C-alpha cells in the first residue's frame, strides 16, 4: 500500500466558540478519522495576520505566545484521536491556501506569507519573532507534527524563497515536518527543495501535489532531480461530487502511470460528507494498491 492516505479537513474543527453539539461532531469525526485508512490529516487552513497571530480558519488560535481560547477546549484530544489508536498517523497544519479575497482579489496564500515575510524582516532572530513564538505554542499545545506550505501566489513566487527557507529551517531545528503543497511553478518549488536541503539531502519530507492528474508530468522529473522521487509525492484530488468508486478509478490511473507513487489525498473531508470517512479513505487506498496487485498476479 502507498505510504500516505491523506485528507484535508476545512471547517469542521475550526469553529469559533463551538456549541456542545458541534464539539460532539468534532469528537465523532476525529474518532472516524483515527479508525479509517487515513493516516495523514491536514488541518486547513491556518492563516497569519500582521502581528503574527495564527488563525485556524476565521478563528484566532494563537496570539502573543498563548492560545486564544476560542477553539474547542478539547481540540488537542480530537487531534490525538485522528492519529489512531497506535498514534502512527500524521497531522499537519496547512498554512495559506487558494482563492482570493478583498476588493482587489488578493491571493490568500500571498496574504499569509507576506505577513510572515514582514515579521522575519522585522525580527531576524526567530526567538524574538511573534510568528515563530506563536508557532512554537501551537506545536506545544496541539499534537500537530508539521507545517504544510500551501503558498498560492498570484503575485510571483520567487520573492518568497527566503521566507520559505527560514520557515523550513525553523521547522527542521525544532524537529517538525515541512511539506509543500504546490499546483504550479515546479521550478520555484524545486529551488525551495534545493535551498533547504541539508548535506545534499532534502529536508522537505514530501510533496502534497495538487490536481495531480494535470500536474504530475511537469513535476515528477524536476522533483526527482532535486532528490524527491515518486515515493516522496502524494497525489491530490479535489473530490467535488465524485463517488467513492470514481475516486478509486482516479488513483488506479495515477498508480498505473506512476507506479510506486508515495500516496494520495483528498480535498476535502467536508465535500464527501463526514459519515463517508471510512469509505473514501478505503477508496484512495484501493486505487493505489489495485494496480500493483494486478501487476503481481
pTM: 0.95
> Sign of dihedral through CA atoms 167, 12, 84, 20?
positive
76 pLDDT exceeds 60? Answer: yes
H helix intervals, the chain = 20-35, 75-82, 108-122, 130-141, 161-173, 186-195, 212-225, 244-257, 269-272, 277-296
pLDDT at 291: 45
294 pLDDT exceeds 50? Answer: no
Reported as a single tens digit per residue, the pLDDT across 39-53 is 999 999 999 999 999
Mean predicted lDDT score pLDDT of the chain:
94
pLDDT at 295: 37
Q: At what angle do helices 277-296 and 244-257 cross, to 10 degrees?
A: 40
Q: 3-state class of 22 per DSSP?
A: helix
Which grid cell is 122? 522585522
Cα-atom radius of gyration of the chain, to the nearest Å? 18
pLDDT at 10: 97
> Sign of dihedral through CA atoms 6, 7, 8, 9?
negative
Residue 91 Cα distances to 78, 80, 105, 148, angstroms? 11, 9, 30, 10
1 pLDDT exceeds 50? Answer: no
> Comparing C-alpha atoms, which of 44, 166, 137 is closest to residue 95?
44
Calculate the CA 281 to chain-centre distance.
16
pLDDT at 124: 94
> Comparing C-alpha atoms, which of 211, 135, 207, 141 is closest to residue 173?
135
pLDDT at 187: 97
Mean pLDDT of the 250-259 span: 96
Q: 3-state class of 140 per DSSP?
A: helix
User: What confidence tier does 86 reach under pLDDT thresholds 50, 70, 90?
Assistant: low
266 pLDDT exceeds 80? Answer: yes
Query: Has domain 4-296 been given CATH number 3.40.50.1820?
Result: no
Amino acid at each position: 500500500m502507498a505510504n500516505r492516505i491523506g485528507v484535508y479537513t476545512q471547517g469542521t474543527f475550526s469553529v469559533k466558540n463551538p456549541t456542545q453539539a458541534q464539539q460532539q461532531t468534532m469528537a465523532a469525526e476525529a474518532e472516524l478519522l483515527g479508525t479509517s485508512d487515513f493516516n495523514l490529516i491536514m488541518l486547513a487552513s491556518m492563516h497569519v495576520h500582521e502581528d503574527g497571530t495564527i488563525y485556524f480558519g476565521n478563528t484566532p488560535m494563537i496570539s502573543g505566545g498563548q492560545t486564544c481560547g476560542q477553539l474547542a477546549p478539547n481540540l488537542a484530544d480530537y487531534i490525538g484521536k485522528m492519529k489512531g489508536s497506535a498514534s502512527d498517523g500524521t497531522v499537519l497544519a496547512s498554512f495559506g491556501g487558494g482563492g482570493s479575497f478583498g476588493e482587489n482579489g488578493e491571493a490568500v496564500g500571498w496574504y499569509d506569507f507576506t505577513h510572515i515575510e514582514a515579521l522575519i524582516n522585522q525580527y531576524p532572530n526567530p526567538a524574538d519573532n511573534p510568528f515563530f513564538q506563536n508557532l512554537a505554542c501551537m506545536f506545544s499545545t496541539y499534537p500537530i507534527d508539521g507545517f504544510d506550505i500551501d503558498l498560492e501566489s498570484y503575485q510571483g513566487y520567487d520573492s518568497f524563497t527566503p521566507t520559505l527557507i527560514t520557515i523550513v529551517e525553523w521547522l527542521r531545528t525544532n524537529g517538525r515536518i515541512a511539506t509543500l503543497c504546490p499546483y504550479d511553478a515546479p521550478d520555484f518549488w524545486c529551488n525551495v527543495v534545493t535551498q533547504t536541503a541539508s548535506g545534499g539531502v532534502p529536508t522537505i519530507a514530501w510533496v502534497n501535489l495538487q490536481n495531480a492528474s494535470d500536474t504530475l508530468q511537469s513535476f515528477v522529473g524536476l522533483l526527482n532531480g532535486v532528490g524527491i522521487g515518486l515515493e516522496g509525492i502524494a497525489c491530490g484530488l479535489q473530490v467535488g461530487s465524485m463517488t467513492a468508486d470514481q475516486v478509486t478509478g482516479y488513483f488506479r490511473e495515477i498508480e498505473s502511470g506512476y507506479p510506486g507513487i508515495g500516496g494520495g489525498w483528498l480535498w476535502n473531508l467536508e465535500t464527501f460528507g463526514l459519515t463517508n470517512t471510512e469509505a473514501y479513505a478505503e477508496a484512495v487506498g484501493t486505487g493505489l494498491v489495485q494496480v500493483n496487485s494486478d501487476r503481481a498476479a
